[in-house]
Amino acid sequence: MTTPAGSGSGFGSVSWWGLSPALDLQAESPPVDPDSQADTVHSNPELDVLLLGSVDGRHLLRTLSRAKFWPRRRFNFFVLENNLEAVARHMLIFSLALEEPEKMGLQERSETFLEVWGNALLRPPVAAFVRAQADLLAHLVPEPDRLEEQLPWLSLRALK
């Protein structure tokens, strides 16, 4: 049986939520060695984390939110997903979570985050935000220099 082009049938399924509790990845990693700090290029030691198919940003969000409880570190998160929808969702969620406070207040950002994270239907202002962010991200992805300028926390240089 053939699948008509563009029908969306036969693509498999896309997971939107992970199946494990959110982890603080610093708690799961080796402790910071004070002697190694002198050898690093940066003044802070680095933590490199590879997440394979984590589906959502729960581990990254938990790790970042609990960073104040640990010695200061520079994070490098490498995320590998098996579908572009999950990558786009990561980009959208983190562009919202790391939005400048001058552009969106904490209350509005929190409500928008919860709505984008778990709802199938969005209120008109949230839908407008998602459309605007999707348009911005779609224009930034093919322009790595502009992407680095506007979203310094995101690098797609390894994306194929």
Residue at 118 is within a domain: yes
How many CB atoms sit inside 10 A of residue 37's CB?
15
Residue at 160 is within a domain: no
pLDDT digits (tens, 9 = 90+) for 52-71: 988 888 999 999 999 999 98
pLDDT at 8: 54
Residue at 23 is within a domain: no
Residue at 19 is within a domain: no
Q: Note whether 138 and 151 are within 8 A (CB).
A: no
Q: For tokens 């640990």, what's the residue?
A: 70
Residue at 18 is within a domain: no
Residue at 59 is within a domain: yes
pLDDT digits (tens, 9 = 90+) for 121-146: 899 999 999 999 999 999 999 998 99
Residues 49-79 as b/e (b if ≥16 CB within 10 A, e otherwise) read bebeebbbbbbbbbbbeeeeeeeebebebeb
Which segments in the chain show pLDDT lower than 70? 1-12, 34-42
Residue at 60 is within a domain: yes
Query: For residue 111, what are the domain limits?
Result: 42-150
Residue at 107 is within a domain: yes
Question: Structure pTM?
Answer: 0.77
